[in-house]
Homo-oligomer: A and B are copies of this chain.
Amino acid sequence: MARAATTADAFNAVAEPRRREILDALTQGERPVNELVTLLGLAQPHVSRHLRVLREVGAVVVREEGRQRLYRLNPQALKPIHDWVASYQHLWEERFDLLEDVLGDLKDEH
C-alpha cells in the first residue's frame, strides 16, 4: 500500500522531482507535451503520465489545439502546500531571533 491513496494530493504530486521540473517549466507559460519531453529529456509516455498526475491534483490544465495538448500551470493547486509550510516558517525564523538575542546580550556585557 505504498503511500496509501495519497496520489490525488498536491503534496504527493510535488514529491516527484520530474513533476517539479514540469511545473517549473510551465511557469514560463503554456507548453505542448512535446516541448516538455525535449526539456525534460524523458520519454513521451512518461511525461504524459506525470502530466496526468499533475492534472489530477489540479496543478495543470490542458487545452486542445489541433493535435497538440497545451498544458498550463494552475498555481492555486500549490497553495495548500504553501499554507502548511508557512505555518512552520516562524519556527525556523525564531532561531534568528534567539541568535540576535544572544548576540545582543554579548554586546551588553561589553
Contacts and interface: CB of A to CB of B under 8 A. Distances in A.
Interface of A: 2-3, 6, 9, 11-12, 14-17, 20, 23, 27, 73, 75-76, 78-79, 81-82, 84-89, 91-92, 95
A41 to B, nearest CB: 15
Contacts of A15: 3, 6, 9, 11-12, 14-15
A92 to B, nearest CB: 4
Nearest to A79: B92
Given A15-B3, A16-B3, A86 B82 contact: yes
The 6 lowest CB-CB distance pairs between A and B, nearest first, are: A15-B15, A75-B91, A75-B92, A82-B85, A12-B15, A76-B92
